[in-house]
Amino acid sequence: MQLTKTEEQLMQFLWKQEKAFMKDLIDMFPDPKPAATTIATLLKRMADKGFVGYKEFGKSREYYPLIEKSAYFSKQMNGMIKSFFNNSTAQFASFFTKETNMTAAELEELKEIIDKEIQKKKK
């Protein structure tokens, strides 16, 4: 399941805070801030999708993420690779290195990361 752009922005706030009340989340948005009803609707949808949980404190709810940021990001990247690059990580890597204007130093750093992963896989 996927989040909309606005849900993803709200999720970014939750990942950063780890847990937050709706008022805290609204305060994190830039001006003009969204209405409380809008955030309440987004949080309900996100809870229904299994991304957000909450604890009740009287009439207030403290929200927290049910999925780790790295797990969500990994799933999104794998979906993009499947959809746009014929499920080929090599095609993705080729596109990524050519189209992102990486510096030579950044490419060297990426090469080191890849070399380390190759060594891990050989063991």
For residue 16, the domain's CATH number is 1.10.10.10
What would the pLDDT profile of 50-104 be if each residue is shown by its tens digit? Answer: 999 999 999 999 999 999 999 999 998 888 899 999 999 888 888 888 888 889 9
Instruction: Specify whether 13 is located in the same domain as 58.
Output: yes
- Asked if residues 63 and 78 have their Cβ atoms less than 8 Å apart, the reply is no
Instruction: Specify whether 75 is located in the same domain as 36.
Output: no
Report pLDDT for 1.
74
What would the pLDDT profile of 14-50 be if each residue is shown by its tens digit? Answer: 999 999 999 999 999 999 999 999 999 999 999 999 9
As a whole number, the mean pLDDT across the chain is: 92
Which pTM value belongs to this model? 0.76
DSSP strands (E only) in the chain: 20-21, 52-57, 60-65
Structurally, how many domains does the chain consist of? 2
Residues 6+ apart with CB under 8 A from 6: 42
